[in-house]
């Protein structure tokens, strides 16, 4: 049987959703017989591949680079899932929104006595991704097929949804879990 | 013409980063930078919130070490309340901290760095991950997963959730421990200890294969910072901060975490969202120091538990008693700390009062400023809060482990790139080594880019003899 191609990514996220995925423990090894991890922070690929079956996207869309990532993911993937509350609602990352991009950078980095005259991420030729005006939930930017809620979603819920997708079934969008 | 080589994103680390290398015409690397590419500004929205919400909020800074933030934050809250918290609560918090250290170190060794160490730096990229490891060494990979699970389940049973629990509160914890939980984990310790020791044996058996890496993976003399108790033993929960130089001598007298600002300054570079803390007196960028498992084992007089101390002695043999210089040995130090953590977990569980019911002191805010410090898996973590008369947060500063190591990681990247990345044809294994040095530090980047708030500014000018010429401060 051909393996199902799964990608995962964290955007503006705390890594907790991915840790919860690892909390499947040995079940992860069982799943690995049926899936191929084609992208993600736990494997060594540097570009978003084509023809992905399922992509779990954790975190909010916060920078220009993350915007490019999700668009590419949408283009190359059959089923895109918003993975965790940061992706689903904007959760904690979106709490920076009322402050504004320039103000927040200014407040963090511009201090007298620093050897650097420019704020990180602000110069024309910055090597860093630029902050978008707002951190946004994923479905505001691309179409999303599946929502996996929780902060983080429980390992059992992740297991359930991934197993269903492997069977070719689509679980009801947004199975409710407790907040937090 | 210099050629720029990018590694983007750096994989098998926590958080977002990329590396750029500059290569000369003659094929040698002239410069290298480790860019942290994530910015979140997390603490800004804490302003105006009640201080007792902070442990649960700041836990969400990081999914790997939420426990460290909960504890750092809870301890800062204890200071704000100015209470003495029940002894059982202190022991339970320590227990939680060791559980996290075990799971986080297991993750670093088995899930993140294991593929490099056990499959080899030049293994095909498609296999260099924990599933590839499971294909090649199924038994060991399963044991690694099991060891992490031991830590995660202990956290869950104590705190109610594996990730982002809300159990630690200013004044203690919000629920005592059940007697069954104690039994369960006492029974499981021997299995976990056997895995930790096996991992140590494995590391020692492969360590000779990495001679070149050991010499170039951030192998340079530097200062080290870590927490010790009043007897100089390793302590991950409370005590003094100790800063030693590359020869192992104390640079300053051991100091209280609340005095951090007089010792540590923070610089900013426009090419990274992560700040660069440095030892003030040496200035920036010379004031480089390292934190984390390697630093802790270098600064402490001893671990204070028998099995870990035996291992520590052997570890110190690597450098004939001087601090161990190579950042490659973070891996080794991490495994010794797992052994130590398991010994401590056993001691705490065996203490009769650990199941006592009084686990929380209650009070309003009684002080306007508090600093909570803890050794997170990756190094010293500081939470510093100011509040107003109503107990609402007015100021937040965090210095996280990975920040302390930022200068050292940059040194390390350059050193390893100069050793391995040469010529026109760049091979994957060369670049993987450049990433592997970062993995040795085991950075936690979503943590490190949250630091935000009105930082107290303190500028000091020293002449070339180290004499202070001028000082100016503002802020708090
Ligand atoms: S949803 Fe929660 S666990 Fe997941 S990335 Fe966001 S804060 Fe972390």
pLDDT at B462: 38
**In the prediction, which pLDDT does B176 show?**
97
What number is the average pLDDT over the span B205-229?
Answer: 87
Instruction: Name which of A15, A112, A126 is nearest B457 (Cβ-Cβ).
Output: A112
One domain, residues B209 and B98? yes
Residue B415 lies in a domain: no
Evaluate whether residue A148 is within a structural domain: yes
Is residue A87 included in any domain, yes or no? yes
pLDDT exceeds cutoff 50 at B474: no
Q: Any idea what the CATH number is for the domain that residue B142 is in?
A: 1.10.645.10
Statement to judge: residues B266 and B334 lie in one domain: no
**Which chain A residue has its CA at the smallest distance from B60's CA?**
A14
Are both B356 and B302 inside the same structural domain?
no
Structural domain includes residue B389: no
CB contacts of B455 in chain A (<8 Å) are: 111
Give the single-character DSSP code of A128. S
Please tell me which of the candidates A14, A104, A113 has its beta carbon nearest to residue B44. A104
pLDDT value at residue B306: 97
> What's the number of domains chain A is made of?
1
More confident residue, B119 or A129: B119
Instruction: Determine phi and psi for A164, rounding to 5 degrees.
Output: -60, -45
Domain for residue B95, yes or no? yes
Q: How confident is the model at residue B438 (pLDDT cuts 50, 70, 90)?
A: confident
What pLDDT sits at residue B122? Answer: 84
| Residue A103 belongs to a domain | no
In a domain, B47, yes or no: no
Q: What is the pLDDT of residue A67?
A: 94
Contact A113, A141 (CB under 8 A): no
- Assess whether B315 and B268 both reside in one domain: yes
The count of other CB atoms within 10 Å of the CB of residue A168 is 7
Distance of CA B344 to the CA centre of its chain: 19
Q: Mark which of B345, B362, B379 sits at the end of a domain.
A: B362
Question: What 3-state DSSP class applies to A118?
Answer: coil
Q: List, for residues A32-85, the tens digit of each pLDDT value.
A: 889 998 988 888 777 889 999 999 999 999 989 899 999 999 999 999 999 999
User: Residue A162's domain is classified under what CATH number?
Assistant: 3.40.50.700
Question: Using 50, 70 and 90 to split pLDDT, how confident is the model at B469?
Answer: very low
* B60 inside 8 A of chain A by CB: yes
**For residues A121-140, average pLDDT:** 82
Q: Is residue A60 part of a domain?
A: yes
- Domain match, B350 and B301 both: no
A125 inside domain: no
Closest residue by CA, ligand 1 atom 2: A151
B8 touches chain A (CB under 8 A): yes
pLDDT of residue B472: 32
Q: Is residue A179 predicted with pLDDT exceeding 60?
A: no
Whether A105 maps to a domain, the answer reads: no
Instruction: Indicate if B348 and B309 belong to the same structural domain.
Output: no
User: Is B446 in Cβ contact with A15 (below 8 Å)?
Assistant: yes
Do B228 and B94 share a domain, yes or no? Answer: no
CA distances, A19 to each of A31, A46, A147, B67, B264 (Å): 16, 20, 18, 13, 32
**A127 found inside a domain:** no
Tokens in use for B63? 């999914």
Contact B243/B250 with Cβ under 8 angstroms?
A: yes
Check whether residue B442 and residue B470 sit in a common domain: yes
Domain housing A63: 4-95+132-179
Contact B60 A15 (CB under 8 A): no
- Tokens 């299995």, located at residue: B191
Beta strands in B280-428 (DSSP E): 289-290, 369-376, 379-387, 393-399
Q: Is the CB of residue A153 below 6 angstroms from any atom belonging to ligand 1?
A: no
Report whether pLDDT(A122) > 70.
no
Residue B310 lies in a domain: yes
Q: Domain count for chain B, please give it.
A: 3
- Asked if the model's pLDDT at residue B473 lies above 60, the reply is no
Query: Domain check: are B123 and B91 in the same one?
Result: yes
Say if ligand 1 is within 6 A of residue A137 CB: no
pTM for this entry: 0.88
Does the distance separating the beta carbons of A92 and B42 come in below 8 Å? yes
Q: Verify whether ligand 1 is closer than 6 Å to residue A165 (CB atom).
A: no
The whole-number average pLDDT for the span B381-392 is 94
pLDDT band at B37 (very low <50, low <70, confident <90, very high): low
Residue B113 has pLDDT above 80, yes or no: yes
pLDDT band at A167 (very low <50, low <70, confident <90, very high): confident
- Which among A14, A41, A111 is the nearest to B60, CB-wise? A14
pLDDT averaged over chain B? 85
Q: Which residue of A has its CA nearest to B66?
A: A16
Ligand 1 center from residue A96 Cα (angstroms)? 15
Minimum mean pLDDT range among A168-172, B191-195, B293-297 = A168-172
Q: In sequence order, what are the residues at sequence separation of 6 or more whose Cβ sits closer than 8 angstroms to the Cβ of residue B348?
A: B91, B94, B95, B98, B354
Whether ipTM > 0.90 holds is no
**B96 part of a folded domain:** yes
Domain that holds residue B297: 220-325
Same domain, B151 and B271: no
Task: Say yes or no: B432 contacts chain A, CB-CB below 8 A.
Answer: yes
Reported as a single tens digit per residue, the pLDDT across B153-186 is 999 999 999 999 889 999 999 999 999 999 999 9
Q: Would A100 be classed as within a structural domain?
A: no
Contact, B63 vs B303, CB < 8 A? no
Q: How many Å apart are CA B401 and CA B413, to the nearest integer? A: 18
Protein residue whose Cα sits closest to atom 6 of ligand 1: A86
**Same domain, residue pair B320 and B345:** no
Last residue of a domain, one of B325, B347, B371: B325
Same domain for B92 and B119?
yes
Q: Does the residue B56 lie in any domain? A: no
Measured by CA distance, the residue closest to atom 5 of ligand 1 is A13
């Amino acid at each position: 049987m051909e393996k199902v191609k799964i990608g995962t990514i964290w955007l503006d996220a705390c890594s907790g959703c991915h840790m919860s995925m690892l909390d499947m423990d040995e079940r992860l090894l069982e799943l690995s017989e049926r899936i191929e991890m084609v992208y993600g922070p736990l494997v060594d690929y540097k570009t978003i591949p084509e023809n992905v079956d399922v992509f779990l996207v954790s975190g909010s869309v916060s920078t220009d680079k993350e915007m490019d990532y999700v668009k590419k993911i949408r283009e190359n993937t059959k089923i895109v899932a918003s993975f965790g509350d940061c992706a689903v609602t904007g959760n904690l990352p979106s709490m920076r929104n009322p402050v504004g991009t320039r103000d927040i950078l200014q407040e963090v980095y511009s201090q007298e006595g620093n050897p650097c005259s420019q704020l990180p991420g602000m110069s024309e030729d910055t090597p860093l991704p630029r902050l978008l005006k707002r951190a946004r939930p994923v479905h505001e930017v691309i179409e999303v097929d599946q929502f996996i809620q929780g902060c983080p979603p429980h390992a059992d819920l992740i297991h359930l949804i991934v197993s269903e997708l492997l069977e070719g079934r689509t679980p009801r969008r947004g199975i409710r879990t407790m907040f937090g | 013409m210099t050629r720029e080589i990018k590694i983007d994103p750096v994989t098998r680390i926590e958080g977002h980063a990329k590396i750029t290398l500059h290569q000369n015409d003659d094929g040698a690397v002239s410069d290298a930078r480790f860019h942290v590419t994530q910015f979140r500004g997390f603490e800004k929205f804490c302003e105006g919130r009640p201080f007792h919400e902070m442990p649960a909020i700041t836990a969400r800074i990081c999914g790997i070490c939420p426990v460290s933030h909960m504890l750092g934050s809870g301890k800062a809250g204890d200071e704000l309340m100015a209470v003495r918290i029940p002894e059982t609560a202190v022991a339970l918090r320590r227990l939680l901290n060791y559980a996290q250290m075990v799971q986080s170190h297991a993750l670093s060794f088995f899930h993140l760095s294991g593929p490099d160490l056990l499959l080899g730096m030049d293994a095909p990229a498609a296999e260099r991950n924990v599933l590839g490891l499971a294909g090649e060494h199924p038994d060991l990979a399963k044991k690694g997963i099991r060891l992490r699970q031991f830590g995660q389940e202990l956290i869950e049973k104590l705190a109610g959730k594996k990730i982002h629990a809300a159990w630690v509160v200013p004044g203690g914890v919000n629920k005592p421990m059940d007697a069954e939980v104690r039994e369960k984990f006492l029974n499981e310790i021997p299995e976990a200890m056997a895995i930790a020791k096996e991992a140590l044996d494995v590391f020692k058996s492969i360590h000779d294969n990495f001679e070149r890496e050991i010499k170039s993976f951030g192998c340079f003399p530097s200062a080290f910072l870590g927490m010790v108790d009043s007897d100089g033993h390793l302590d991950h929960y409370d005590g003094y901060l100790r800063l030693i130089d590359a020869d192992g001598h104390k640079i300053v007298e051991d100091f209280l975490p609340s005095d951090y600002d007089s010792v540590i300054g923070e610089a900013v570079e426009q090419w990274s969202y992560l700040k660069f803390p440095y030892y003030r007196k040496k200035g920036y960028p010379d004031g480089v120091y390292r934190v984390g498992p390697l630093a802790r084992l270098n600064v402490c007089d001893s671990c204070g538990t028998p099995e870990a101390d035996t291992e520590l002695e052997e570890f110190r043999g690597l450098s004939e008693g001087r601090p161990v210089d190579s950042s490659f040995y973070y891996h080794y130090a991490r495994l010794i700390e797992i052994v130590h953590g398991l010994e401590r977990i056993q001691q705490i569980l065996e203490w009769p009062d650990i199941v006592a019911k009084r686990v929380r002191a209650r009070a309003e805010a009684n002080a306007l400023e508090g600093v909570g410090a803890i050794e997170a898996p990756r190094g010293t973590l500081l939470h510093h809060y100011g509040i107003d008369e109503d107990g609402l947060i007015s100021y937040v500063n965090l210095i996280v482990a990975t920040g302390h190591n930022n200068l050292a990681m940059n040194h390390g990247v350059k050193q390893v790139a100069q050793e391995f990345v040469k010529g026109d044809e760049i091979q994957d294994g060369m670049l993987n080594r450049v990433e592997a040095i970062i993995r040795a530090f085991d950075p936690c980047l979503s943590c490190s880019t949250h630091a935000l708030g009105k930082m107290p500014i303190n500028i000091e000018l020293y002449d070339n003899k180290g004499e202070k010429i001028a000082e100016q401060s503002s802020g708090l």
